[in-house]
Every structure is written in C-alpha cells, then in structure tokens.
C-alpha cells in the first residue's frame, strides 16, 4: 500500500489514475503486453483506464479515497466480454469490451464525486491495450493480433476499480468495490 499513515501518497508518487484491472486477461494478453506495451514493464497488468489523470499525488487523501469508494459502491458488478480486437489509427492494438456503458458510468460517477478530478478532455473509449506502435513494430502488432484473435472471446467479471499510483512502477494504492 502506498498510502502513508496520514492517508497521503508517498512523496515519490508521480501520477495517479483510476483503472479496472482485468487479471482474467493476463494469460491471453500478458505475454504480448510485456513486449508491446511499456506500462506492462512498469508493473501495470491488463487494465482499462477510466480516469487519467485522477488527482495529483499530493492531493490524494483519505477523504478522496472514501469519496471514490462511495461513488462506485452503488454500481453492481457486471460481466464483460472482450470479443474483438480493434485499432486506434493502426498505432494501438486493443481489446474492445462489451458492454462499454458501465465503464463510462463509473468514470462519470468518479469525476462527479471526487473533488479536484480534472474534467474529461475527450470521450472515454474503454479499451484494454495490447500494444503500442511507439514500443513495437507494426509487424509485431499485426502478429499479436493474428495470434490473439482466434483465442477470443474472453470473459471477465468486473467487481472493483483501483486507484493506481506510479512511482518507478504502477501499484494499487486502494481499491473500491462495486457493490450494487
């Protein structure tokens, strides 16, 4: 846990975000992400980013974490299926979740409930990144897509969000359960 006794993040924290971790996707995409996505090499497993940036690390308090937990608690856990690979501009290979509406609803709830969270500057496109062109060749991304596609669909239960904190690596600082 990266929270100090006072509830403030450790001074070495550089960034925060709210994400849904998808450990069920690791057997399928983990080996590809390790080669094709630099965040995987920094300890960030398969995930969907919902709010980034969240708060400046110095602004994360016990009250903010409590507001995060209160914001998502009314949302019921849900099943999500990743059954299609997509691209952002042939530069980012990603798995598309179905449904997307609950991810957008959670992000909106967090933005409304937690003081100081910056306004969304673009429409949230919930996605699970497999690889990035800046970290891999186009051929490596194409090969990954060809190898992953026949192994879809992938199903996962979404029952929590994580407050992720980046120091040298990405770590879970707190979790907020979906209770419905």
Strand partners, 17: 164
Question: Would you say residue 169 lies in a domain?
Answer: yes
Span 13-53, pLDDT tens digits: 889 999 999 999 999 999 999 999 999 999 999 999 999 99
Question: Would you say residue 10 lies in a domain?
Answer: no
pLDDT, residue 2, reads 47
Question: Would you say residue 119 lies in a domain?
Answer: yes
Question: Would you say residue 5 lies in a domain?
Answer: no
Q: What is the pTM of this model?
A: 0.93
Question: Would you say residue 57 lies in a domain?
Answer: yes
Total domains, the chain? 1
pLDDT, residue 13, reads 87
pLDDT, residue 11, reads 77
Long-range contacts of 88-92 (CB under 8 A, 24+ apart): 88/125, 88/127, 90/133, 90/138, 91/132, 91/133, 91/134, 92/129, 92/131, 92/132, 92/133
pLDDT, residue 8, reads 62
Question: Would you say residue 168 lies in a domain?
Answer: yes
Can you list the residues of the chain whose pLDDT is less than 70?
1-8
Question: Would you say residue 7 lies in a domain?
Answer: no
Residue ranges making up the domain that contains 127:
15-177
pLDDT, residue 43, reads 93
Question: Would you say residue 106 lies in a domain?
Answer: yes
Nearest Cα neighbor of 144 from 160, 158, 132 is: 132
- CATH code (residue 62): 3.90.1140.10
């Amino acid at each position: 846990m990266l929270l100090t006794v006072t509830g403030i993040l450790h001074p070495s924290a550089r960034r925060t975000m709210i994400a849904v971790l998808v450990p069920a996707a690791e057997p399928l995409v983990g080996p590809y992400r390790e080669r094709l996505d630099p965040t995987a090499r920094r300890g960030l497993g398969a995930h969907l980013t919902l709010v980034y940036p969240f708060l400046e690390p110095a602004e994360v308090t016990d009250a903010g974490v409590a507001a995060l937990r209160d914001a998502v608690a009314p949302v019921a856990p849900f099943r999500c299926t990743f059954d299609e690979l997509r691209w952002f501009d042939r530069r980012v290979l990603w798995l598309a979740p179905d449904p997307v509406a609950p991810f957008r609803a959670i992000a909106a709830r967090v933005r409304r409930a937690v003081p100081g969270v910056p306004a969304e500057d673009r429409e949230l496109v919930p996605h699970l990144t497999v690889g990035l062109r800046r970290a891999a060749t186009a051929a490596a991304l194409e090969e990954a897509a060809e190898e992953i596609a026949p192994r879809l669909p992938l199903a996962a239960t979404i029952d929590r969000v994580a407050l992720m904190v980046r120091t040298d690596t990405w770590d879970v600082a707190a979790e907020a359960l979906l209770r419905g």
